[in-house]
Amino acid sequence: MKTILCFGDSNTWGFDPQSILAPHPQRHAPDKRWTGVLAAQLGEGFRIIEEGQNGRTTVHDDPLNVARNGKAYLPACLESHMPIDLVLLMLGTNDLKSMFNVPAGEIAAGAAVLARLILASAAGPQNRAPKLLLLCPPAIGDLSHLPDLQAKIPQGAQRSADFPRCYEAVARNLGCAYFNVQEVVKPSPKDGIHLELEDHARLGMALASRVRELLA
């Protein structure tokens, strides 16, 4: 049995963009999220652990939300689920918030901190490090119809467009596998951030092929 840990934010949690203005966030059904599609595509012999959290950052403490720092939670998460064969890491979207005021390169550097924790851990089989697939987060779309959200993520589309270049450089420097999510999915026009069902399906199927290669 191969264990795959998917460590991410609301797009791993399965946030439904149709609920962006609702009092409480709604999520896509388990089998419709990209993690569920990945599990179905891989079939028997694989166990998918879904570790998504709304608002999770790479290394930043959010003063308006408790326990969103990915760096703080990751070590316990790795130990809890060990042995882990492969970690899929997709974080950085929430680092675009104005309160953090960091460019794409520093956001990718935050992802690199988490990547190094994974690659230096003993959370894999036989107390070795798991394999790592670093995912470039999806692009940010048009937020002009949601002025409050646009104020929270200023110039989101332009800044997230720099993610592929920055994340690929991190993966190259660390020697880990890389996947550009932006080549496969686009954010929902409803909220400009989260994925609709069809994009969850596309992402899950695309990642299944990559995972098979890495765990062959």
Output the 3-class SS for the chain.
Answer: CEEEEEEECHHHHCECHHHCCCCCCCECCCCCCHHHHHHHHHCCCEEEEEEECCCCECCCCCCCCCCCEHHHHHHHHHHHHCCCCEEEEECCHHHHCCCCCCCHHHHHHHHHHHHHHHHCCCCCHHHCCCEEEEEECCCCCCCCCCHHHHHHCCCHHHHHCCHHHHHHHHHHHHCCEEEEHHHCCCCCCCCCCCCCHHHHHHHHHHHHHHHHHHHC
Mean pLDDT score, 8-37: 96
Across residues 125-137, what is the average pLDDT? 98
More confident residue, 191 or 216: 191
The answer to whether the beta carbons of residues 195 and 138 sit under 8 Å apart is yes
| pLDDT for res 174 | 98
Domains of the chain plus CATH, in order, are 2-215 (3.40.50.1110)
Give the residue-averaged pLDDT of 166-192.
98
Mean pLDDT of the chain: 97
pTM, two decimals, is 0.97
Nearest 10 degrees: Cα torsion 26, 32, 33, 34: -160
C-alpha torsion sign, points 15, 123, 164, 177: negative
- Stretch 2-28: mean pLDDT, rounded? 96
Average pLDDT of the segment spanning 157-182: 98
pLDDT (tens digit, 9 = 90+) per residue, 78-110? 999 999 999 999 999 999 999 999 999 999 999
